């Protein structure tokens, strides 16, 4: 098998047997395609079992000079390292040339977040169509509960009862489940959407949020509609679903100072992932969530 065929076999196993997310699969596929191209570049072609560590470092240098960030290079190295481990288990290579190679460090970027006023401006509008009602329910849920885009898009009808009671169970990265609170504004918006959902949904569709064709709404459609809504509301920045997740984390953490609670609600495996939000000027520790979140305060 060629290097490309070996890479395809590895990706197929990740997708079919290990239940890796589609987003991760797409990234790994791109990273391994880049590796295969690099093996063919230069004055001599390098076989998979002939790649040396110093050549991996050279590849990293080439990609860095082409503008790839340290974060992107770290992900590429992770994909390459996993691929070579897979090859090693099958006796196709004697050693892993990627072990010990590290990506150059990139400046730490702080997450972009809306201010509470900007979040209010985005969400406080009167919907004038069933699609607007659906969109507002999705945006409120992003901001209320810090859901990832894939988590929200994958919600099924069996979660609605619990959601309207104040909590939602989602399955995050690495198939890790978690339960997060749902604020009153989000519950109201979802309840309104559920009274109108039948106008769009196909009879047998189990997704909570559906598109105009009646099937589960795609993440791309959610992103595009949120972008257009932000523009219509006069927000000066490009707004995407992950920005609402960042805004949720920033605003709860700023008001409560409870890093561990925010870590649990975001589903971060490591507290280090949550600590990027600690640049905020915290107020005194208060009640978590219902009293801290700008749109979750009880009436």
Q: Where are the alpha helices (DSSP H) in the chain?
A: 3-17, 22-40, 53-65, 70-89, 116-123, 130-145, 149-153, 160-165, 184-196, 219-232, 241-256, 259-266, 271-274
Rounded-to-integer distance, Cα 25 and Cα 23, Å? 5
Active site annotation includes 23: no
Instruction: Indicate if 287 belongs to the active site.
Output: no
Is 148 a catalytic site residue?
yes
C-alpha 157: how far from its chain's center? 22
Catalytic residue among 28, 139, 277, 289: 277
Q: Is 216 noted as a catalytic residue in this protein?
A: no
Are 170 and 180 in contact, with CB atoms under 8 Å apart?
yes
Active site residue 277: yes
Among 187, 225, 246, 268, the one annotated catalytic: 268
229 classed as catalytic? no
Helix (H) or strand (E) holding 286: none
From the list 148, 229, 240, 293, the catalytic residue is 148
Catalytic residue among 245, 246, 251, 295: 245
Q: In the numeric block, which tokens belong to residue 230?
A: 């932000």
In this structure, are residues 275 and 262 in contact, taking their beta carbons and an 8 Å threshold? no
Distance between CA atoms of residues 229 and 240, nearest Å:
10
Cα dihedral 246, 251, 252, 254 in deg (nearest 10): 120
Which residues belong to the active site? 148, 173, 242, 245, 268, 277
């Amino acid at each position: 098998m060629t290097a490309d065929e070996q890479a395809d076999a590895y990706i197929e196993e990740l997708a079919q047997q290990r239940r890796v997310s589609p987003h991760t699969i797409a990234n790994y596929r791109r990273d391994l395609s880049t590796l295969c191209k690099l093996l063919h570049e230069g004055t001599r072609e390098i076989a998979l079992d002939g790649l040396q560590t110093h050549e991996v470092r050279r590849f990293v240098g080439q990609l860095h000079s082409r503008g790839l960030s340290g974060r992107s290079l770290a992900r590429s190295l992770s994909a390459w390292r996993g691929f070579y481990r897979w090859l090693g288990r099958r006796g196709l290579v004697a050693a892993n040339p990627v072990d010990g190679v590290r990506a150059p460090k990139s400046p730490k970027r702080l997450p972009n977040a809306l201010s509470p006023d900007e979040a209010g401006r985005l969400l406080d509008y009167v919907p004038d169509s069933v699609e607007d009602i659906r969109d507002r329910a999705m945006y409120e849920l992003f901001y209320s509960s810090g859901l990832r885009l894939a988590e929200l898009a994958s919600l099924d009808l069996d979660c609605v009862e619990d959601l309207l009671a104040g909590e939602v169970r989602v399955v995050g990265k690495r198939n890790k489940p978690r339960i997060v609170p749902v604020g009153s504004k989000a519950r109201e918006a979802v309840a309104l959407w559920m009274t109108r959902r039948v106008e769009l949904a196909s009879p047998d569709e189990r997704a909570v949020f559906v598109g105009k064709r009646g099937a589960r709404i795609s993440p791309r459609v959610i992103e595009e509609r949120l972008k257009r809504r932000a523009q219509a509301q006069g927000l000066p920045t490009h707004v995407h679903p992950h920005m609402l997740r960042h805004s949720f984390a920033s605003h709860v953490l700023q008001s409560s100072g409870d890093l561990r609670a925010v870590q649990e609600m975001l589903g971060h495996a490591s507290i280090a992932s949550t600590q990027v939000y600690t640049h905020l000027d915290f107020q005194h520790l208060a009640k978590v969530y219902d009293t801290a979140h700008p749109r979750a305060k009880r009436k």
